[in-house]
Chains A and B, each alone.
Chain A
Amino acid sequence: MERYTLIITEKPDAAYRIASALDLNGKAKKVEDNGVPYYVAERDKPIVVVPAIGHLYTVAEENIGRNYYPVFNFRWVPRYIAERGAKQIRVWLETISKLAQGADTYIDACDYDIEGSIIGYCILKYACGGKENVARRMKYSTLTKEELEQAYEKPLPKLDFALIEAGRTRHEVDWLYGVNLTRALTLAAKDWSGKYATLSTGRVQGPTLRFLVAREKAIRSFVPTPYWEIKAEIEIDGKIFEAEYERDVIETKGEVEAVLSACKGNDGIVESIEEKRFQQMPPTPFDIGALQSEAYSLFGYTPRRTLDIAQRLYLDALISYPRTSSQKLPPAINYEGILKSLSAVPEYNRFAAELLAKKELKPNEGKKEDPAHPAIYPTGNLPERILEEPERRIWDLVVRRFMAVFGEPAIRQSVKVCVNVNGHRFILRGRQTIKEGWLRFYEPYVRAEEVLLPRIEKGQQLRIVRVISEDKFTKPPPRYNPGSLLRKMEEVGIGTKATRADIIQTLYDRKYVRDERMVVTDLGFEVLEVLKRHCPTIVSIKLTRNLEERMDKIQANLEKRENVLSDVIEILKPVVEELKSKENIIGEQLSKAVRKARLEERIIGQCPICGTGTLMVLYSRKTGKRFIGCTNYFKKKCNAAFPLPQRGFVRPLGKKCPKCGWPTVHIRIKGKRPWNLCFNPGCPSKEDRT
């Protein structure tokens, strides 16, 4: 084979798309070497497109071993050297190195962001024998044929070294934090108890846990206060309308009684009518955070799940690159072309036609920008396979949002009618859409509340059917959910668009939090307590944000990697020393919390047979099999025992069976759909099934 151009991509799917787009016949040849796929495309000269599988290189300590800290010396190594279970990477790198030898031109076509740039840079530098300085860079935001061809024909002359430098620093800083602090906590607990449990923390993970703990404390020590609301039911043209009292909140029972008594038996007089028209502007295009929040509130998808789905849609060339913080849609993406393509879908046809009929297409852009990518938008390509339901939903959401941003503002009208009942004022409110504007493009994801009032005139006398009071209590602050926590991280500027979802997932994986409405576990409390007491700087939001800003400055050539790294080591040195000197106390505190957390995981609830014991997941000494048994068994007071599936993961659900009131468990077995189990053999739900 003659000398060829070697293109490196981040994932196999992207390699296939790029090779197919660049091949003159649209059919690149797939080749496998030791199980590693790559593609050969024919153009002006042969092109070989070889994928990575995400990061092939990582940061690791210079010396071997995992059971020591502090660690401040590091190097970049192939992942198979640093991580267990990454053996496949060795074969992968061998194939890339082999292919690099036959090439005369090198192009980095990994995603154009920090992570993609590091992936491409490391491969070119280490696997291709120092080709990072001669390689060119393909920059694209969608995997459509047109954009890929353009990116290939007009590549950037060199890699974006500032972006790479910022990315390297971020990885190195996070590694320094993670490895030192996680080892300090984990080894302290292990040395004290003799048992191993990973207790991780990191530069962003610690401050994020701090938000959750602060909220948890506020909720758990919350004391409600009573207040009252008063409402009047008013009859107009034979229909009953509810009006609110002029004061939203009444603080004493005495005042409530005085109002009720004054209004009793009196009619109301319409004192004033106010009408207001207002514009409701279209939404801004999706950046990744907004998409994750919207998908969480509409479909309950976690940020991680939404990102994964969006990534799949991107690799299918259905939407643009999702890891973007931009709220801008430049005209270069060809609004008209996208809308024309989308009009082939019957559900979008009418809306696309309406937008195409406009004199000018101008999106309602937000303020946020991203130098590498525009906001998320549909490419106009239609699915080539049947999308799974979650994929279809996210694609539909992206399409409708895209159309909505070009819509006209909606015009809404509010009416406020003030009714005087014996000196007390009640407010009747009406709301109505005058002009739908963008709202109809974004349905069913937005619904305008419509409350139509009949015709009312000033001075009109109205019959008051009754005036009632409602007992209310102030409520604790809401728990964070993955969506709102992600927004909070964005708001305070910690983590990046690519890492926030993973950090939230890690908090779950480490069992620092549980449930969708995030509850901090005792283990989460103890870990934060240790960090706050012994190394408050580590959980300082200000310090974390400051580091983020400095790393962003590296990207803009305004800060040096070496300065940031040496400052980070200066921050970490005293912290790690402090942790080491208190290893015994910390170890005891954390070990007890781990033990408690493990025990709590096994507690199912109160025993419904004896009423005093606790049901737990126990293991038979004879057979080693697990079952649910009562703690009173050991006192010879209760024989309650129930079988459990022997495989998979069992978790107390914390809810009672709606049919029999017994505690229930959640079972998860790999490869099967998880289910909730009522283990009561006499539960009526079991009879229903027969």
Chain B
Amino acid sequence: MKCSICQREALHNGFCELHAKAYENIVKKYEFWKKALNISWKEYLREVAKNPFTGEWAKEVAEHLIKTSGEQSGT
């Protein structure tokens, strides 16, 4: 199976090793954002996608999750 974003081999959650790490970071950091701004998962993804400090792969994952109306695992 290919990664949902690039053409690399998918390893976890439909992402390649590189995008899977970015996905993991996105999930992990949501707790901080929720505590800081009390925002929903979708609002959070939009904020992450437009933030200039977000890394390229994390941005791609956030945009992909927005497009596929991504659900955070476990939420």
Interface of A toward B, CB cutoff 8 Å: 217-227, 251-253, 473-476
Once bound together, how far apart are the Cα atoms of A475 and B52, in whole Å?
9
Cβ–Cβ < 8 Å partners of A218 in chain B: 55
| 22 cross-chain CB contacts under 8 A | A220-B57, A220-B58, A221-B18, A221-B22, A221-B25, A221-B57, A221-B58, A222-B25, A222-B54, A223-B58, A224-B53, A225-B33, A225-B36, A226-B32, A226-B33, A251-B35, A251-B36, A252-B36, A253-B37, A253-B38, A473-B51, A474-B53
Residue of A221, A222, A253 most packed against chain B (CB within 10 A)? A221
Cβ–Cβ < 8 Å partners of B21 in chain A: 217, 221
Contact present for B36 and A222 (CB under 8 Å): no
Q: Which residue from chain B places its CB closest to the CB of A226 in the assembled complex?
A: B36
Once bound together, how far apart are the Cα atoms of A66 and B55, in whole Å?
42
Name the contact of A220 in the complex, choosing from B18, B29, B48, B51 (C-beta under 8 A).
B18
Q: What is the minimal beta-carbon distance from A53 to any residue of chain B, in angstroms? A: 45
Contact present for A223 and B37 (CB under 8 Å): no
Q: Which residue from chain A places its CB closest to the CB of B27 in the assembled complex?
A: A223
Cβ–Cβ < 8 Å partners of A475 in chain B: 53
Cβ–Cβ < 8 Å partners of A252 in chain B: 35-37
Cβ–Cβ < 8 Å partners of A223 in chain B: 22, 25-26, 28-29, 48, 54-55, 58
Cβ–Cβ < 8 Å partners of A220 in chain B: 18, 22, 55-58
Cβ–Cβ < 8 Å partners of B29 in chain A: 223-225
Q: Which residue from chain B places its CB closest to the CB of A218 in the assembled complex?
A: B55
Once bound together, how far apart are the Cα atoms of A474 and B58, in whole Å?
15
Cβ–Cβ < 8 Å partners of B25 in chain A: 221-223
Contact present for A253 and B36 (CB under 8 Å): yes
Q: Which residue from chain A places its CB closest to the CB of B30 in the assembled complex?
A: A223
Q: What is the minimal beta-carbon distance from A568 to any residue of chain B, in angstroms? A: 31
Cβ–Cβ < 8 Å partners of B22 in chain A: 220-221, 223
Once bound together, how far apart are the Cα atoms of A227 and B29, in whole Å?
13
Once bound together, how far apart are the Cα atoms of A475 and B55, in whole Å?
10
Contact present for B55 and A221 (CB under 8 Å): yes
Once bound together, how far apart are the Cα atoms of A253 and B35, in whole Å?
9
Cβ–Cβ < 8 Å partners of B32 in chain A: 225-226, 251
Closest 3 CB pairs of A and B: A221-B22, A222-B55, A224-B53
Q: A220-B18, A222-B58, A251-B35 are in contact. List 7 more A-B contacts (CB 8 A).
A: A221-B19, A221-B22, A223-B25, A223-B28, A223-B58, A224-B48, A226-B32
Residue of B28, B33, B54 most packed against chain A (CB within 10 A)? B54
Once bound together, how far apart are the Cα atoms of A226 and B25, in whole Å?
14
Total contacting residues, chain B, CB less than 8 A: 22
Contact present for A476 and B18 (CB under 8 Å): no
- Chain A contact residues: helix, strand, loop or mixed: loop
Residue of B21, B22, B28, B55 most packed against chain A (CB within 10 A)? B55
Q: Which residue from chain B places its CB closest to the CB of A221 in the assembled complex?
A: B22
Contact present for A217 and B53 (CB under 8 Å): no
Once bound together, how far apart are the Cα atoms of A309 and B33, in whole Å?
50
Contact present for A219 and B37 (CB under 8 Å): no
Once bound together, how far apart are the Cα atoms of A223 and B62, in whole Å?
10
Once bound together, how far apart are the Cα atoms of A197 and B25, in whole Å?
36
Q: Which chain B residues in 36-69 approach chain A with CB under 8 Å?
A: 36-38, 48, 51, 53-58
Contact present for B56 and A476 (CB under 8 Å): no
Cβ–Cβ < 8 Å partners of B36 in chain A: 225-227, 251-253
Q: What is the minimal beta-carbon distance from B63 to any residue of chain A, in angstroms? A: 13
Once bound together, how far apart are the Cα atoms of A390 and B55, in whole Å?
36
Once bound together, how far apart are the Cα atoms of A613 and B55, in whole Å?
25
Q: What is the minimal beta-carbon distance from A474 to any residue of chain B, in angstroms? A: 7
Once bound together, how far apart are the Cα atoms of A217 and B24, in whole Å?
13
Once bound together, how far apart are the Cα atoms of A629 and B56, in whole Å?
27
Once bound together, how far apart are the Cα atoms of A220 and B55, in whole Å?
4
Once bound together, how far apart are the Cα atoms of A225 and B35, in whole Å?
11
Contact present for B55 and A219 (CB under 8 Å): yes
Cβ–Cβ < 8 Å partners of B57 in chain A: 220-221
Contact present for A473 and B53 (CB under 8 Å): yes
Once bound together, how far apart are the Cα atoms of A474 and B53, in whole Å?
8
Cβ–Cβ < 8 Å partners of B18 in chain A: 217, 220-221
Cβ–Cβ < 8 Å partners of A226 in chain B: 32-33, 36-37
Q: What is the minimal beta-carbon distance from B44 to any residue of chain A, in angstroms? A: 10
Q: Which residue from chain B places its CB closest to the CB of A250 in the assembled complex?
A: B36
Q: Which residue from chain A places its CB closest to the CB of B31 in the assembled complex?
A: A225
Once bound together, how far apart are the Cα atoms of A400 and B32, in whole Å?
49
Once bound together, how far apart are the Cα atoms of A253 and B37, in whole Å?
6
Q: What is the minimal beta-carbon distance from B52 to any residue of chain A, in angstroms? A: 8
Cβ–Cβ < 8 Å partners of A224 in chain B: 29, 48, 51, 53-54
Residue of B19, B29, B38 most packed against chain A (CB within 10 A)? B29
Once bound together, how far apart are the Cα atoms of A181 and B57, in whole Å?
30
Once bound together, how far apart are the Cα atoms of A43 and B53, in whole Å?
68
Cβ–Cβ < 8 Å partners of B28 in chain A: 223
Cβ–Cβ < 8 Å partners of A219 in chain B: 55
Q: Which residue from chain A places its CB closest to the CB of B20 in the assembled complex?
A: A221
Cβ–Cβ < 8 Å partners of A227 in chain B: 36
Cβ–Cβ < 8 Å partners of A221 in chain B: 18-19, 21-22, 25, 55, 57-58
Once bound together, how far apart are the Cα atoms of A476 and B22, in whole Å?
13
Once bound together, how far apart are the Cα atoms of A474 and B25, in whole Å?
13
Q: What is the minimal beta-carbon distance from B59 to any residue of chain A, in angstroms? A: 9
Once bound together, how far apart are the Cα atoms of A224 and B48, in whole Å?
8
Given contacts A217-B21, A221-B25, contact A476 B55 (CB under 8 A): yes
Cβ–Cβ < 8 Å partners of A251 in chain B: 32, 35-36
Contact present for B33 and A222 (CB under 8 Å): no
Once bound together, how far apart are the Cα atoms of A224 and B18, in whole Å?
17
Once bound together, how far apart are the Cα atoms of A122 and B64, in whole Å?
61
Q: Which residue from chain A places its CB closest to the CB of B28 in the assembled complex?
A: A223
Residue of A226, A473, A474, A476 most packed against chain B (CB within 10 A)? A226
Q: What is the minimal beta-carbon distance from B26 to any residue of chain A, in angstroms? A: 5
Once bound together, how far apart are the Cα atoms of A219 and B53, in whole Å?
9
Q: What is the minimal beta-carbon distance from A81 to any residue of chain B, in angstroms? A: 44
Given contacts A217-B18, A217-B21, contact A222 B53 (CB under 8 A): yes
Q: What is the minimal beta-carbon distance from B25 to any residue of chain A, in angstroms? A: 4
Cβ–Cβ < 8 Å partners of B38 in chain A: 253
Once bound together, how far apart are the Cα atoms of A221 and B57, in whole Å?
5
Q: What is the minimal beta-carbon distance from B7 to any residue of chain A, in angstroms? A: 9
Once bound together, how far apart are the Cα atoms of A226 and B54, in whole Å?
12
Residue of A217, A223, A227 most packed against chain B (CB within 10 A)? A223
Once bound together, how far apart are the Cα atoms of A218 and B25, in whole Å?
10
Q: What is the minimal beta-carbon distance from A418 to any residue of chain B, in angstroms? A: 27
Once bound together, how far apart are the Cα atoms of A252 and B29, in whole Å?
14
Once bound together, how far apart are the Cα atoms of A217 and B57, in whole Å?
9
